[in-house]
């Protein structure tokens, strides 16, 4: 009998299902559609084999039974095409759309099946060659080929929304099946269509649906790729759950030896494996993710971990020095805070990376408030980029007063961003975001260039200005190209380097000291001077004033105001002033707001005064007018 290929295909699919069933699956809708396609293919192959057997034994069977079985096999071929089409569209529609589409296609497939049963079928049997032909077979070809073509058209139109591997696998399956149908149509004795459907299941299994590909080998939990598919499935189906991320990659574990960490991870894996009501994912080398169907399940698991984790995970680890390893927890109590799977994955990535930047914050909750702040941050980031592209970055100047000459001899250049409606964005809203994202480097270069343009255009030295102060952020101090970039800008506009004073912060001098010192030496040799900004509000000690090649030290506003409000602060500021001036450096006091404060600081011997008493930061045109009036006498 001509059933060798059908038997081979049937055995292949049964083996695939055997291995498939041995592993836990993520629970995706595509997995259910794959299983249904496999079952339909098994039924199709079984009916194909049975139809051959019935035809071979038709002399002993009722003719109606034989022909009915043959038509049932033909209908199953159309059903296989239906299964392929519905599987193809699984990840390009939401669940409701898929179900509606499946229902419509199911009705169309049922209608074609009814037509097949109503039309006559003819049987050919000669020796070992057995096949059917006639109107029912023609209807089958039309229905099945139409579904194949519809699937190919769908993958072409919706291809960008599909998983690329799914698109490739479906097209390969449909191509093989279409080729088999063409061959069998012109050579009815070669029963290839059923076997071609089996090959399609093999392709889907190895390309997409092998559960092994979704597993982390070391733990047996699902891997990061499986989690991404899981999140997309949840969002596409409007069925959003909760998740808890446990990260062991934190500052408290930095002193743990590698071999000990391996034992720790093994114990953590065993512990997490006992947590109920969850799907377990290993999303990074030292990170686990637990997904839940409800917030209550997540909170129960969080309680279990919080109460029992520290006391259980080191049990039996005699060779490991006991340590108190505090994991980071990232809670997503309500996935509806995001509008899409991609947005939620972006939030998880963002908050996960930021949790590691805050060693004292061990639990981060991705809720409506935190997401709202994240969206505000993203909106401000967009605003910064657009402002730079549209040249809406401006420089304001706050005058600096010299107590010895009683003239305004300098100014601090301060960046501002103007909105499209003309209003000014306060620097406190955009500077932290620019620093966090690294945009502060380009923004700082833009400010420096604008200051050079200002100096070139207005020649403020003719109004008594001796230098302009420009801030350097911590991030800018990390850039090895800082000195080269700034010297090139000064050369471009032919600016006297002695007219430039760059302000660094104490934190910058600590965090990036070597790179900063290299840049400072290069720029000082070029002719630029430096000042230490925000003295008294940083992380350093007095040694840094000795070590850093600065010419000016600036007391921040809090330190200045403390001088007027706290008796101890007076002695501290007096001592700091004497020490700094004893080193041959100048002192600037920021935050001066009244005439009385000015007089006291003058008596103290402060060299320069800056504050709202004289002026707020003002636009460059107003600053020039300010100088013309104040320095006229």
CA R_g for the chain: 37
User: Could you tell me the pLDDT band of residue 542, with boundaries at 50, 70 and 90?
Assistant: low
Q: How many CB atoms lie within 10 A of CB 71?
A: 24
Q: What percent of the chain is predicted at pLDDT more than 90?
A: 33
Instruction: Provide the pLDDT for residue 318.
Output: 46
- Where do the structural domains in the chain lie, given as residue ranges? 4-213, 215-366, 388-630
pLDDT tens digits for range 382-408? 999 999 999 999 999 999 999 999 999
Average pLDDT, the chain: 84
Which CATH number is 388-630 given? 3.20.20.450
For residue 314, which of 363, 356, 256, 362 has the smallest C-alpha distance? 256
Can you read off the two tokens belonging to residue 216? 């982390």
Query: Is 70 exceeded by the pLDDT of residue 23?
Result: yes
User: What value, to the nearest 5°, has the Cα angle with vertex 541 and ends 537 and 545?
Assistant: 95
Q: What's the pLDDT at 317?
A: 46
> What percent of the chain has a predicted confidence (pLDDT) above 70?
88
Q: Is residue 430 pLDDT above 90, yes or no?
A: yes
Which residue matches tokens 């409007």?
Answer: 238
User: Could you read off the pLDDT of 100-153 as tens digits, one per residue?
Assistant: 777 888 888 899 999 999 999 888 777 777 778 889 988 988 888 888 888 888
Tell whether the model's pLDDT for residue 353 goes beyond 80.
no
Q: What is the pLDDT of residue 276?
A: 85
| Helix count and strand count (H, E) for the chain | 23, 18
Alpha carbons 24 and 495: distance in angstroms, whole number: 69
Looking at residue 320, its pLDDT comes to: 46
Q: For residue 481, give the nearest of 512, 513, 515 by alpha carbon.
A: 515
pLDDT band at 322 (very low <50, low <70, confident <90, very high): very low
**C-alpha 576, offset from chain centre:** 47
Domain 4-213: which CATH number of 3.30.465.10, 1.20.1070.10, 3.40.50.300, 3.40.50.720: 1.20.1070.10
Helix (H, G, I), strand (E, B) or coil at 248: coil
Helix pair angle (193-204, 4-21), 10° resolution: 20
Segment 216-274, tens digit of pLDDT: 888 889 998 888 888 888 887 777 788 888 887 654 444 555 556 677 778 788 888 88
Long-range contacts of 143-147 (CB under 8 A, 24+ apart): 143/78, 143/81, 143/109, 143/112, 143/115, 143/116, 144/77, 144/78, 144/80, 144/81, 144/181, 144/193, 145/178, 145/181, 146/81, 147/78, 147/81, 147/82, 147/84, 147/85, 147/109
Please classify residue 138 by burial: count the beta carbons closer than 10 Å to its beta carbon, then call 0-12 exposed, 13-18 middle and 19+ buried: middle
Distance, CA of 440 to CA of 427 (rounded, Å)? 12
> Is the pLDDT reported for residue 356 higher than 60?
no
The CATH architecture one would assign to domain 215-366 is: 2-Layer Sandwich (3.30)
- Asked whether 45 and 198 are in contact (CB, 8 A), the reply is yes
């Amino acid at each position: 009998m001509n059933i060798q290929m059908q038997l081979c295909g049937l055995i292949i699919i049964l083996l695939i299902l055997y291995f498939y069933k041995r592993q836990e699956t993520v629970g995706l809708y595509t997995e259910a559609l794959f299983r249904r396609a496999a079952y339909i293919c098994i039924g199709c192959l079984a009916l194909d084999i049975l139809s051959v057997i019935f035809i071979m034994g038709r002399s002993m069977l009722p003719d109606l039974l034989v022909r009915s079985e043959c038509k049932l096999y033909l209908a199953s071929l159309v059903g296989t095409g239906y299964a392929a089409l519905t599987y193809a569209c699984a990840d390009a529609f939401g669940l409701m759309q898929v179900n509606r589409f499946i229902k419509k296609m199911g009705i169309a497939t049922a209608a074609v099946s009814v037509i097949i049963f109503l039309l006559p079928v003819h049987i050919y049997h000669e020796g070992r060659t057995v096949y059917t032909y006639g109107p029912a077979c023609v209807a089958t070809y039309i229905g099945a080929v139409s579904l194949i073509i519809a699937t190919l058209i769908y993958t072409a139109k919706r291809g960008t929304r599909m998983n690329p591997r799914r698109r490739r696998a479906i097209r390969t399956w449909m191509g093989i099946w279409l080729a088999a149908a063409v061959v069998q149509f012109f050579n009815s004795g070669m029963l290839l269509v059923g076997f071609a459907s089996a090959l399609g299941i093999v392709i889907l299994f190895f390309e997409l649906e092998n559960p092994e590909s979704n597993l982390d080998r070391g733990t047996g939990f699902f891997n990061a790729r499986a989690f991404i598919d899981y999140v997309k499935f949840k969002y596409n189906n409007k069925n959003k759950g909760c998740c808890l991320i446990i990260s062991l990659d934190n500052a408290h574990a930095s002193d743990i030896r590698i071999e000990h960490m391996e034992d720790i991870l093994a114990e953590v894996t065993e512990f997490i494996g006992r947590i109920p009501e969850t799907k377990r994912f290993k999303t990074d080398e030292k990170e686990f993710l637990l997904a839940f169907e409800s917030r209550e399940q997540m909170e129960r698991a969080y309680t279990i971990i919080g109460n029992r984790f520290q006391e259980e995970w080191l049990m039996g680890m005699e060779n490991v020095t006991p340590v108190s390893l505090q994991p980071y927890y990232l809670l997503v109590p309500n996935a509806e805070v995001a509008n899409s799977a991609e947005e939620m994955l972006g939030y998880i990535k963002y908050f996960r990376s930021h949790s590691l930047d805050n060693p004292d914050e061990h639990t981060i909750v991705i809720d409506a408030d935190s997401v709202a702040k994240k969206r505000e941050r993203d909106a401000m980031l967009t605003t910064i980029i657009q402002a730079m592209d549209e040249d809406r970055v401006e420089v304001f100047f706050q005058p600096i007063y010299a107590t010895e000459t009683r003239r305004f001899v300098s100014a601090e250049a301060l960046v501002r961003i103007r909105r499209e409606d003309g209003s000014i964005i306060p620097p406190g809203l955009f500077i932290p975001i620019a620093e966090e994202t690294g945009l502060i480097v380009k923004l700082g270069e833009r400010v420096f260039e604008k200051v050079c343009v200002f100096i070139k255009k207005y020649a403020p030295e003719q109004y008594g200005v001796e230098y302009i102060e420009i801030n350097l952020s911590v991030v800018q101090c990390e850039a090895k190209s800082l000195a080269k970039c700034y010297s090139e800008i000064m050369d471009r506009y032919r600016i006297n380097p002695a007219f430039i004073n760059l302000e660094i912060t104490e934190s910058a001098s600590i965090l990036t000291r070597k790179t900063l010192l290299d840049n400072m030496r290069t720029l000082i040799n070029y002719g630029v001077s430096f000042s230490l900004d925000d003295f008294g509000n940083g992380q350093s000690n007095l040694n840094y004033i000795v070590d850093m090649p600065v010419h000016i030290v600036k007391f921040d506003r809090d330190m200045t105001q403390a001088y007027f409000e706290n008796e101890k602060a007076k002695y501290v500021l007096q001592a700091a002033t004497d020490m700094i001036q004893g080193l041959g450096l100048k002192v600037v006091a920021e935050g001066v707001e009244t005439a009385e404060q000015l007089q006291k600081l003058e008596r103290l011997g402060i060299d320069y005064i800056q504050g709202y008493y004289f002026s707020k930061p003002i636009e460059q045109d107003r600053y020039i007018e300010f100088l013309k009036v104040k320095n006229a006498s």
